[in-house]
Structure 1
Amino acid sequence: MPSTRLKHNERLFSRAGARRGAAPVLTALAIVLAGALSGCAIDFFKPESYAFLKQAGSSAMTAPQAPTVPRDSPGAVNPSRTPKETFPEAPSPVAEAKTDEPPPPAPVEQPETADEAVEESKPAVDRVVASVDGDPITMREVKDFSAQHGQPIDTDDFASSDTAKTAVKALIGEKLLEQEVKKYDDKVDDAQVDKYITQLRMEKHMSDAEFRAQLQASGMSYDELRKRARLDLEKAMMIEQEVRAKIDVPDADIKAYYDAHKDDFTITKERLKLAQILIALQANPTPAQVSAAQKKAEMIRARAAKGDDFGDLARVYSDDDSKSNGGELGWFAPGDINDAILAGVKPLKPGEVSAPIRTSHGIHIVKLEEHEVPGVVPLSEVKAQIRAQLTDQQTSEQLEKWVESDLVKQHYVETMY
């Protein structure tokens, strides 16, 4: 099957259809998760972020409404308890007979409750050090969590380790958000999950078969990926509704940011971002073959002009390798584009689709997605971009305040170290 990738001297899409290196899918997932939250995540490893958690732990331990809950109850782990009454051991008959002997030693103080006795008998790494709504957090969990964030904990004495305290509080913050996101379990449908995974695959420039093969090689099943994608979408929806939608960025702030960052909005080199649908022709085609290809190209172009999704049309009709990516080709300097293609797209405005263009490879329908021209981009063209960026920044700050002012009050948090 012909491709648009040609020798350099033919100057046709020198990078068109070129495959990027396929990073492991698990790495890609981390990137997508960051995109889903879009700058919205609290950095739970910042010590200054945890004053509210200290207060929450203290108030949870002393709150008068905190009930005494059995160990197997769904309530909080290790709530305040009524001390267990202890009695001295009854003297043995031998001891009674030997009245001249000194009295027996005082009984060894017993743990306040059977729960604490069980806790003390456990290995340190399995010891419960905190809980959120009765969900225990063990020392092992904290150590694993901290190590994953590059902050290894080398002691079991959490009370004397700032790193351990920070990690516990960080994990509590994540647990609070995990509890809250459960409210969104039924608000994401399968179609949204499918679209989300398709976007992930397209970002990695992989066909469906390549994507699934990479996924399998990474050790994750497709069902596991779908579960993770659904959770990512639920998190994004939660943050959008609870935090992001409540942020209002004034136009004055946008203008001030634009004026202070003019270099960021200055283009020094012309570039065009293109997508295409190729109707391939073999070498030396017959007039009938050319006519058939031309009619097919005109039909596709007409559908695109009427509003049909260009990417969907490419996946169905294109003969180029880029079809698996919805026809996306990427960015090009004018000098990297075939003269016929360049002449066909230069008059277009971003979003428009060219008339069918004939080259030695067939007939191309090309969409101009973006066109960067040297100079300072007008504020009107980047206003939405700046607004989104400033909203992201404020979302990160407001998310922390939301956890501090609302979530902690709605959940029962306890620390035990």
Structure 2
Amino acid sequence: MRSARSVTTFAAGAASILALTVASLGLPSMAQEQAPPQAAPPQVDAPPAAAPQPAGPQPLQESVAAVVNDEIVSSYDLMQRMRLLMATSGMQPTQENLPQIEQEALRSLIDEHLQMQELRRVEKQQKITIISTDKEVDEQIADIAQSNKMTADQLKQSLVQQGIGLDTWRAQLRADSSWQSWIQGRYGSRLRIGEDQIKAYQRRLAESAAKPQYQVSEVFLDAGRVGGMEVAVNGASQLITQMQQGAPFAAVARQFSSSATAANGGDVGWISPGEMAPEVDAALEQLRPGQLSRPIQVKDGVYIVYLRDKRAGSKTAIVDLKQVAAPLAADATQAQVDAAAKLLTDLKPKITSCETLEAAAGKVDGLVAGDLGEAEITDLAPAFQDAANKLDVGQISDPIRTDAGMHLIAVCGKRQGGANAPNHDQIENRLRGQQLALIAKRYLRDLRNQATIETR
């Protein structure tokens, strides 16, 4: 196994790259989200030219920016990717953010080379087709153009006018779609989301239903990927500045975030306290809807969160209950009450699950067992509400006295109620997506560790 060599900053020619990018990005961003009007990007003096240069994007003297397993990433490739990154994220180049843009562009190019090398190896070894065809890339472009309310030709022309070669964009689309297709094809069919995982997720939602809920978008900078925690914090500050100046959050998230939500523009959806890192929870408590957080440092990186909306807890949880009852009159004697309670107390250890409840109760004379079905906790009798709130799925209550008798209540299921609660299939898809994203991240990490990577 070959070890990766340390990566050094590719800084040569930074001033000239900045001058070129400022000159070449005169048109609005092609990002889907429309940024508000903003001031012109800061003007940066370019190095003195030996002779007058023609208008428009200028070619950069080509050199080697990186070598990935003997494949060269040229300085032209790097400049093109920087232009594409800025065009699709809405960022404007400045002296402060140029190193971050440059490093992100270089990292993405290195990752794509590793991905395409692996895909070509698999295609050759297994004699299958994985890499997206030209037709499939054209279909992606048509979809992106439609979402931007443009034709494919208009979108392509917009890129060309910003000094971006279409081959650069097509290469990015091809690598991304091919890699996602390979991960889905290799692992998706064998990945199983168990009912216990879905029920556990539903239970967490139900238990947090009464807590405040936040609609959140995120950008996560992985400290290990960007070169350390200090780099991540500084990078987050630069991104926040750009978003405050009008760069759309979703576009920035797609290009810079290491989270699985990057593909959806950083959209996390509705969450409750406890679903994200404690440091993020603390920040969310202080934000108002429409506000952007400061950099939030966590164990392995830095978050930027945008609070889109906030709502009070619904207190709506739905439980699936079964019961065992010993019928008693409302005016039963204390001796009768004590006898019924002992009967149920002795039975409780013999009930190992909701599935065994009725069979166990059927062996005891004088008891009635049955399925109460699903109900909102707030619709239950007060004595049953307390048990349903406190018990986890699979647990059984102590004897509960009502006017109708003495009862044992078993909680067989618990989920969040209300119109915004995700259903079974949505939860399964969300968990599957999270696991596939984690698999893809580990796969690429292993490719990096095995590769020989040099930057100049």
- TM > 0.5 fold call: no
- Higher helix fraction (1 or 2): 1
Larger Rg: 1
Higher relative CO (CA 8 A, sep ≥ 6), structure 1 or 2? 1
